[in-house]
Structure 1
Amino acid sequence: MRSGRTDVISLIIPDLKNAYFAELADAVMTAASKRGKVVIIEQSGGSRTRELEILHGPRMRMVDGVLYSVLGLSQEDAGLIEIPTPMVLLGERIFHGPTDHVTMQNIEASQAATDHLLQRGRTKLLAFGAHRNEVIGSAGLRLEGYRRALQKAGLDYRDELAIDVQSWHRSDGAQAMRHVLESGLEFDGVVAFNDSIALGRCVSCRMLD
């Protein structure tokens, strides 16, 4: 402790049951181990209150740095994430905050996936995993990419094809697809917003075969 370093990193994620975050945790722990570091995993459940408790809790004094996958906080909370411990934000909830930030090209990736299906003659594509009222966040950005691809192809956006899946777990994807199939909604392709709900969709489709 005399060096002022603990060789411990905190990884704050919403939910280890989500395959994406489980894989992220594995990758972080593997990389940290190679450098002689230890990782403490904190699950926030996507709760704003819980995320703030973790960020401003006593354990922050025990770590050298924080990797924080933000979900409960939003752009308006950017000032609340200023802490003495070095931190890197992950995800799409807060932009232009006081820390370094790693994200992915959500709009571009979703647009490319939608383009791929449109080029194969599909015109009634489900936007599977949408959060209609979300602007900043993975779902909102991926829905924007879907919209841009439709516009580029000269097709109108149809709100009924945007399928809400609030939690991106496989069981939620399966349930949402069951509702779609039972409703009789016509579609000829699916742009799934993450792998887990895509697998859930497959389960529901197989059950009806």
Structure 2
Amino acid sequence: MRPRMVDVARRAGVSPKTVSNVINGYIHVSPEMRSRVQQAVEELGYVPNSTARTLRTGRTGIIAFAVPNLAAAYFAELATLVTVAAEKRGFTILIDQTDGLLEREQRIAAGLREHLIDGLIFSPLTMTPTEISAASGSTPMVLLGERDAPSSVDHVVIDNVVAAREATEHLVGLGRRRIAAVGAPLDVSTGTGSVRLRGYREALEGAGLEDSALVVPTGRLLRQSGAEAADRLLDLPRPPDALFCFNDAIAFGAMHALRKRGVQVPDDVAIVGFDDVEEASYSNPTLSSVRPDKQGIAEAAIDRLTSRLDGTAGHRPDAVVIPHELVVRESSGGSE
């Protein structure tokens, strides 16, 4: 027979109400009690009756996580962390891939699945703050991504201006004077790339350096884009001696192109990426990269969303700033 909530309660030595509180993500349960219930759930293979829960609470227990591209290592790693954080609070994650297409982002933001989900964690690429604000309705939403965001929506972010400035200042500190920015957005008015570009330019200005010819926009943040950008930069009369890449995939592609043309990293060209995906520790050379606290991003996003659902959040939406650090590896003279 399919195990029931009362069976879980009996196994854990608690009341059915306590089991219900744990399954539904109620925050006022002691860690010891939560652990006992979760262990009993796993031992019995208990699966909550989602239909009964929906009728009882008006919730489905499902949160949507919408990202541009799950093939990108950063979003794949983040999706895993969001899923784990959600499961600890009794929620299931439904993943949507937008491919960065405006029409898909608009449909998701407007509540395409509003009868299926309790809330949305959303990383848009193309929607403007005005469009996001207009689309956000009855379904609670938390935005991810380093971009200007409407004040009407909770937002989890790292300080990309500071992070990009620190990465560029690191290259300046190595004595590099022709530092290229690879992966700048085609539209510099919105999105993550625009704020990273701002930090890069602030660092150059502070060092008395700047050359617009060394800012290379790319349509997408892919390895191929990085390789093509590196080839264009090497063909300049005065090639760069350092690259600040707007994500790690761009950096990996750039390193591949440099290696094919006999350029040594970091001796000839130093490179810093962004996101610190797992591959950065295993590439050859290993890649220096800005490391956002991805665990912190996932936990904060789920916390903001669940607090909206259970009514414990403040009236005004919050912008939660998550820490970051620059990890220096071989591609910019480090030894890690």
TM-score, structure 1 normalization: 0.92
Identity %: 38
Counting only pairs closer than 5 Å after superposition, residues 1-209 of structure 1 correspond to structure 2 as 1=54, 2-131=56-185, 133-155=187-209, 157-209=210-262
Root-mean-square deviation (Å): 1.7
CA distance in 2, matches of 1:101, 1:57: 18
CA distance in 1, matches of 2:112, 2:204: 49
For the residue of structure 2 that corresponds to 1:10, the secondary structure is: strand
Deviations 1:46-70 (A, max 9, x none): 1111112223344222111110101
For the residue of structure 2 that corresponds to 1:59, the secondary structure is: coil
* Greater mean alpha carbon deviation, residues 141-150 or residues 73-82: 73-82
1:179 shift after superposition: 2.6
CA distance in 2, matches of 1:14, 1:142: 18
Name the amino acid aligned to 2:258.
C
| CA spacing shift, 1:142–1:93, aligned 2, 3 Å | closer
Name the amino acid aligned to 2:206.
K
Unaligned runs of 5+ in 2: 1-53, 263-336
Contact 1:173/1:197 (CA < 8 Å) preserved in 2?
A: yes
Number of aligned residue pairs: 208
Q: Which entry has the higher C-alpha Rg, 1 or 2? A: 2
Would you identify which runs of 4 or more consecutive aligned residues in structure 1 move more than 4 Å?
none
Contact 1:9/1:39 (CA < 8 Å) preserved in 2?
A: yes
| CA spacing shift, 1:102–1:57, aligned 2, 3 Å | closer
1:103 shift after superposition: 1.4
Contact 2:83/2:93 (CA < 8 Å) preserved in 1?
A: yes
For the residue of structure 2 that corresponds to 1:139, the secondary structure is: helix
* Greater mean alpha carbon deviation, residues 136-145 or residues 91-100: 91-100
| CA spacing shift, 1:23–1:43, aligned 2, 3 Å | same
Contact 1:73/1:93 (CA < 8 Å) preserved in 2?
A: no
Contact 1:74/1:93 (CA < 8 Å) preserved in 2?
A: no
| CA spacing shift, 1:21–1:79, aligned 2, 3 Å | same
CA distance in 2, matches of 1:5, 1:52: 23
Deviations 1:21-41 (A, max 9, x none): 111111111212233321101
| CA spacing shift, 1:162–1:53, aligned 2, 3 Å | same
Unaligned runs of 5+ in 1: none
| CA spacing shift, 1:57–1:135, aligned 2, 3 Å | closer
